[in-house]
Structure formats: C-alpha cells, structure tokens
Amino acid sequence: MWSIMGFLSLGLNQDIVNTAKRLGYDQPTPVQLAAIPAIINQQDVMARAQTGTGKTAAFALPLVHNLCAQPLGVAAGSKPELRTLVLTPTRELAQQVFNSFKKYAKGSSLKTAIAYGGVSIKPQIESLNHGADILVATPGRLIDLMFKGSVEFSHLQSIVFDEADRMLDMGFITDIKRILKRVPSNRQTLLFSATFDDEIFKLSKTLLTDPLLIEVDTKNTAAVDVEQVVYNVDEDRKRELVSYLIGSKNWHQVLIFTRTKQGADHLAKEMCKDGLKTQSIHGDKSQGAREKALQEFKDGKIRALVATDVAARGLDIETLKYVINYELPFIAEDYIHRIGRTGRAGSSGLAISLLSVEENYLLEEVEAVLGERLSQQWFEGFEPDLTKPASNARKNSRSAQKRRHKDRAYGKDTGNRRRKS
Ligand code: AMP
C-alpha cells in the first residue's frame, strides 16, 4: 500500500495531478514521494529504484512541472529550446521514457523529441530542427547529433541518467564524458539506477552536486509481488519444458530470456515448431522488427517473446504476468531487471527460472544479490537425469567457466552496442 499523500501535496501543478489521476495513478509510489519535491526544488537526485517502482514518473512528472512553470523559448513563435535531456542505455527504454513524457506533457505546449541509433538519423535531425523542450536519447546517437550540430545545450537545465548502472555495463562512460563536456555545469542532474555499486558512486561524484540520496528499499530486492520458482531441468530438455508449461497452463504473453542472440532466435524457431507463436528480439534485429515484435506481443498476436537482456531492458508491458529465465543471466543483477518486467506497479507476476546443473554457480550469485535463497524443485515429467555424467560443471573450474561464458555473451550481444545505441 503506497502513501496516503496525494500528488498535489508533492507540489505538482493541478494539470499534472489530473493527468496522473487519468492514468490511474491514485497515490505516488515511494520513489515518487521522495524524488518529486526535491526535483521541483531543483535539487540533484541519486535514486536507486528498479523498474516497476514508478521511477520514470518520479523524474518525468516534476520535470514536466518545472518546464511548464518557466515557459522559456516558446514566446512569439520562436521554437522551443532544449531544456531537459534524458539519457537511456537502450532504444527500448528511450522509447518508453519518450512515451511517458508525451503522456505526462499532454495538453501543455511542451515538445518532446527522441533520438536513438539503428534507424535513419534524418527524421531525428528534422524533429530537432523544429525545436524540442525535452530530448530522450541514447548516448551514441546523441554524440552523432552533437557532431552534426543538431543539438544545442546552452539552455539545458536538467539532465537525467536513467538506468545508469546499465549505461556503465554497456561501456557508455566515454560517451557520457563527451556529452558532459558540452552541457552547462550549473544544470540539475538526476541519476536513476537499479543498483548502486562502487562504479555508480564513482560516476555520481563527477556528475552530481550535493544530491538527495533515495533508496526505495534497503537491498537489491526483487519486486515483492513476483513469485519466484526455480525448476531443475537438464539443459537439453529446457525447450520442451517451456513449451509444455505455456501450452498446458494456457499462458499468453510470456517473456522468455536467453543469454545470447543466437539462443533467442533458435528457441523462438523451435517454439514455433511446437505450435506456439513466438518471436525473438535482440540487438541484431532492426528497430522496425523489434518494435513490430513487441507490438504483436502486446496485442496478443504472438504468445511468447524471447529476448536478450539488452533488448528487454526498458520493456514496459503493463499486463505481463509470466517471465521465464530460460537461462540465468551472467550478471546477477539482470535477474532483478528480468523479473521486474512482471509484477509492475503492484500487480502480481510469476518468474520461473530453468536451472541446469551447469548454472548452479549463477543461481548462487543471483541469491547473493537477492539476499535470499530460492527453493529449487522438479517439474513432474522433466526431472533431471541424475545418471548423466555431470558435464562442464565438473570439468571446468567455476571461474574459468564464468569467464568463458561472459566473454562469449559480450562478444555476441554487447560488442557493438556503442554503434547500435
Ligand atoms: P517504471 O518503474 O517507471 O517502469 O513504471 C512502472 C509502471 O508503473 C508504468 O506502467 C507506470 O505507468 C506505472 N506507474 C507509475 N507511477 C504509478 C503510480 N503512482 N500509480 C500506479 N502506477 C504507476
């Protein structure tokens, strides 16, 4: 149960409060309660909040409020100047944040623009030429636009780093530094991150001035309304079990995570052969193909969507109930992001992890991040074959196995992220 304090008492203007109400936001979430008044007061904020906590509205609502309070640059037909910049690690998150700003600024004269890689830069340049108060961008594309002289930061008042931990994971630090050189130093800076670690604190020191520190929970805990189940299963029977679960339980809209792009494609193909309409999304697919797959998934035209961690970051599917970890992630924190796709803003969800014996060490890491043990069980008919010789798990040392896994994953899914952002 969230606070009894309404949005109005946080200092937001009546139009924005009405918008929030219309969207069904009855009460502010904890991160909104803490962040909104500070952002309205022009304070820097460093917030740890995972997806599903209402973090986007926590920065977007007060930023829209602030922009409306000072309608600079729209006087007498002049075009709006860029005053708010939001940086996101992925195109999907950029799209989601852009959509949120559009919703929250509806009815105002504010203009929002979006820029990300993987699509033609021309329409983005044209849209910026018309002027925008708010720009949501991925770092790589923003730098391209900077070099083309299509963005101008002299009026910039606020900059948001959304999912900053992911930006660092994806190697955007150099891009961030290049962007920071161009933005006014007296700006307001807001940093949102699902996790806080030494790297984030190091980055925060270079970005923020006397920030308000917000931590909506004390650990990197998973969304409370997500039931977590772990099934022990042999690697070569995982696909069969996924199809069986979805078919026998008549689940619709199931988001499945694999570690690699090839794995995602292969699984989607095999599931289609099992009679389940499935598509995959990952960094090698064009933006158009990703958006189409996502839309069909949202519309219920396909039953399952197989995604890599990078592609799924930022996906916001309001009614999503089922997440399946076909493979556990190499970065334990990604587990929290994955299962945070369901159980959004208070609704309940089910997250199933399929655990082969080779992945036991990954589960241990996930448990360390969660601060709790997850109970493991067998699914009738898919019990692991204990007579099989334990393969790689025993042949390789834990650290060698992990290193090789990680290298492979990054080589396949993150090596060219900079260009694709
Ligand atoms: P986020 O954490 O930003 O990814 O938001 C998760 C979901 O919560 C989105 O679908 C938002 O529309 C929704 N949301 C944000 N704030 C509230 C609120 N105060 N009450 C209900 N839903 C909310």
Rounded to an integer, what distance in angstroms lies between the CA atom of residue 375 and that of residue 373? Answer: 6
Helix (H) or strand (E) holding 310: helix 309-312
- Average pLDDT taken over every residue of the chain: 86
Cβ atoms 311, 93 nearer than 8 A: no
Strand order in the sheet with 322-325: 278-281, 304-307, 254-257, 322-325, 349-355, 226-232, 376-377
Domain that holds residue 82: 4-215
pLDDT tens figures, 76-88: 457 899 999 999 9
Residue 305 lies in a domain: yes
Is pTM beyond 0.95 here? no
DSSP class of residue 329? -
Pocket perturbation via mutation, ligand 1, pick of 12, 16, 29, 90 by most ligand atoms within 8 A of CB: 29
Based on the domain organization, do 121 and 234 belong to the same domain?
no
Based on the domain organization, do 93 and 8 belong to the same domain?
yes
28 close to ligand 1 (CB < 6 Angstrom):
yes
pLDDT tens figures, 285-301: 888 888 899 899 989 99
Based on the domain organization, do 290 and 146 belong to the same domain?
no
Question: Which protein residue has the closest C-alpha to ligand 1 atom 20?
Answer: 25
Residue 113 bridge partners (DSSP): 135
Packed helices 332-339 and 360-370: angle between N→C axes, nearest 10 degrees: 70
Rounded to an integer, what distance in angstroms lies between the CA atom of residue 7 and that of residue 16? Answer: 9
Q: What is the CATH number of the domain that holds 193?
A: 3.40.50.300
Rounded to an integer, what distance in angstroms lies between the CA atom of residue 170 and that of residue 167? Answer: 5
CA 12 / ligand 1 centre spacing (Å): 17
Based on the domain organization, do 181 and 32 belong to the same domain?
yes
Predicted local confidence at residue 391, as pLDDT: 54
pLDDT tens figures, 143-166: 999 999 999 999 999 999 999 998
Cβ atoms 221, 374 nearer than 8 A: no
Number of domains in the chain: 2
Residue 113 lies in a domain: yes
54 close to ligand 1 (CB < 6 Angstrom):
yes
pLDDT tens figures, 365-406: 998 888 788 989 999 999 998 877 655 444 444 554 555 555
Based on the domain organization, do 232 and 128 belong to the same domain?
no
Q: 123 vs 73, which has greater pLDDT? A: 123
Cβ atoms 116, 145 nearer than 8 A: no
340 close to ligand 1 (CB < 6 Angstrom):
no
DSSP class of residue 91? H
- Burial of residue 359 (number of CB atoms within 10 Å: 0-12, 13-18, 19+): buried
Residue 353 lies in a domain: yes
| Average pLDDT, integer, range 87-114 | 94
How do the residues of the chain divide into helix, strand and coil, expressed in percent and rounded to 5?
A: 45, 15, 40
DSSP letter for each residue of 5-74: --SGGGT--HHHHHHHHHTT--S--HHHHHHHHHHHTT--EEEE--TTSSHHHHHHHHHHHHHHHS-TT-
Based on the domain organization, do 97 and 46 belong to the same domain?
yes
Sorted by sequence, the CB contacts under 8 Å of residue 233 that are 6+ apart come out as 241, 354, 355, 356, 378, 379, 382, 384
Is the pLDDT at 24 greater than 90? The verdict is no
Question: Helix (H, G, I), strand (E, B), or coil: what is residue 364?
Answer: helix
Asked which of 158, 186, 215 is the last residue of a domain, the reply is 215
Q: What atom of ligand 1 comes closest to residue 52's alpha carbon?
A: 2
CA 344 / ligand 1 centre spacing (Å): 7
Sorted by sequence, the CB contacts under 8 Å of residue 309 that are 6+ apart come out as 257, 259, 329, 331, 334, 337, 338, 413
Residue 417 lies in a domain: no
Question: Which protein residue has the closest C-alpha to ligand 1 atom 1?
Answer: 54
Rounded to an integer, what distance in angstroms lies between the CA atom of residue 369 and that of residue 69? Answer: 41
